[in-house]
Amino acid sequence: MADSAQRPLRADARRNRDKILAAAARAFADEGLDAHMERIAKDAGVGSATLYRNFPTREALIEAVYRNEVAQLCDAVADLLASEPPFEALRAWTRLFLDYVSAKYGMIDALRAIAATGSNPYGHSREMIHDAISALMDACVAAGAIRADIGAADIAAALEGIALTSAGPEHRPRAERLLDLTLDGLRTRP
């Protein structure tokens, strides 16, 4: 018999889960670990029982929010490349990366605590992000928009550095300037 954790969620249960994850991401970004589970449930428009049925512990919710944020960040690549020229898609994605880091920043202590228990909340996130950057850079190189001698690992390191030194909404303008400088350095020159 199949495990209930492997069964696909009903559409209404999936919507509730998605609303909880979105509300929790906002709450953790705004309040860090001080975010109350009951407030998250209320902001999601669900009852506390629904929240706890989906995420029995705060740690489970934090880990799910983190994994969801990574998935959304990486899934955005295809839509951006379909709707924007490659370089503009890369530029837009770097802004989404800053949003992702801002959300993660409020959860960093909790993620470290989860990792200390032996769980790996980060899982394949580095690999997923690297693959997303590679896809964007490959499209830019193919379009002749950026240099071909810079690797995705270099850009990932630059993005992480910018995000770490410019975390928090008060530093967002500076972070965007640093992103523009970094991206400008990638452009091909006639």
Residue 9 has pLDDT above 80, yes or no: no
76-98 per-position pLDDT tens digit: 999 999 999 999 999 999 999 98
Residues 109, 155 contacting (CB under 8 angstroms): no
The average pLDDT across 52-81 equals 91
- Torsion (CA) 65, 183, 77, 156 in degrees, nearest 10: -50
How much of the chain, in percent, has pLDDT values that exceed 90? 54
Closest by CA to 17, choosing from 36, 59, 57, 45, is: 45
Question: Phi/psi of residue 187, each to 5°?
Answer: -60, 145
146 forms bridges with which residues in the sheet?
187
Which has the higher per-residue pLDDT, 11 or 150?
150
Residue 122 — φ and ψ, nearest 5°? -80, -25
pTM as predicted: 0.80
In the chain the domains, ranked by start, together with CATH numbers, are: 9-56 (1.10.10), 62-186 (1.10.357.10)
Report the C-alpha gap between 19 and 15 in whole angstroms. Answer: 6
pLDDT for 124-173, tens place per residue?
788 899 999 999 999 999 999 999 999 999 999 999 889 888 767 788 89
Q: CB under 8 Å to 128, separation ≥6 — which residues?
A: 70, 71, 74
pLDDT value for 31: 79
The pLDDT assigned to 135 comes to 97
The amino acid occupying position 133 is I
What is the structure's pLDDT at 29?
75
